[in-house]
Amino acid sequence: MEPPVSDSKSGVLYVVATPIGNLEDLSPRAARLLGEVALIAAEDTRHTAGLLRHLGLSVPMLSLHEHNEAARVEQLDARLAAGEALALVSDAGTPLISDPGFVLVRELRARGRRVVPVPGPCALVAALSAAGLPTDRFAFQGFLPAKGAGRRGRLETLAAREETLVFYESPHRIRDTLADLATVMGDRRVVLARELTKTFETFLDGSAEALLARMEVDPDQARGEFVVMVAGAPPRQEDEAAVVEGEALLAALLAEGVGVKQAASVAARVLGGARKAWYARAQALKDAG
């Protein structure tokens, strides 16, 4: 159900994307709005203060991070109710994308407050645009679990996904992540984007094992923040023997007078697979007979 639309006297929260490295990537609209709002809610006020100094701005700030976000909702909502314009920023990139802000935005929208996106830099989109991996479908997974068992478990649940997989990773875990990718996903193609838009921006391309070996030779390649992109699994091919077995079962059931729907249910239960697919096969066999 859509929340009620805010009236004209209510304020607005601008969700502002900020540079992930190169300060020239800040849009003119974002720069203007940061100078016009009454308050900036920032993941780290010390970090955002540097951006404001670069812009020649002096704007009041309030910290908003994962540990205090829920507690800030009432305070910020009151200021919006008073008609103020506010901005939400993270340390780098687009807020809410593996950064704080979800709780705040969800609660404010539920209350009918106006929330306006101000698009701009986003590390995962920038990385995908230059990686040379399919982008028609991709699954962004944020940060993988820090512990090895949890990380490998998450990767195993994703191993059969056919779309490009995208993760964020830190420099002190990138080697462990590559090792687990090699174990779980074999020699699938991996592209690493590190230090995006910064002086030492680098794209590394190869199998996880090859990239890990490269880091052992050149430890500098393990420095910086990473976007890890993994080619999707190849499309699954139906096992020919299973298809033959399934069609034999369906033919036997149909010969005994079992209906198409029931035969499909039996095949799905005995052999696995989607009942809808077995139904189509059973109907084709019936029509052919």
Query: What pLDDT is stored for residue 122 in this prediction?
Result: 98
Give the alpha-carbon dihedral of 147, 149, 153, 154, to 10 degrees. Answer: 10
Q: Are β-strands 202-207 and 189-194 bridged in parallel, bridged antiparallel, or unpaired?
A: antiparallel
Q: Are 69 and 77 in contact (CB under 8 A)?
A: no
Query: What pLDDT is stored for residue 97 in this prediction?
Result: 96
Determine the Cα–Cα distance for residues 144 and 140; give it in Å rounded to an integer: 11
CB atoms within 10 A of CB 36: 12
Helix (H, G, I), strand (E, B) or coil at 193: strand
Helix (H, G, I), strand (E, B) or coil at 172: coil
What does the chain come to in residues? 289
Amino acid identity, residue 235?
Answer: P
Structure-block tokens of residue 136: 């028609």
Query: What pLDDT is stored for residue 52 in this prediction?
Result: 98
**Burial class of residue 255 in the structure, from the number of CB atoms within 10 Å of its CB (0-12 exposed, 13-18 middle, 19+ buried):** exposed
Q: Mean pLDDT in runs of 10 for the chain (289 residues)?
A: 46 98 97 98 97 97 96 97 98 96 97 97 98 96 95 94 96 97 95 97 97 96 96 75 82 90 85 79 85
pTM: 0.78
Helix (H, G, I), strand (E, B) or coil at 12: strand
- State phi, psi for 29 to the nearest 5 degrees: -65, -45
Query: What pLDDT is stored for residue 269 in this prediction?
Result: 77
CB atoms within 10 A of CB 161: 15
Chain centre to alpha carbon of residue 48: 24
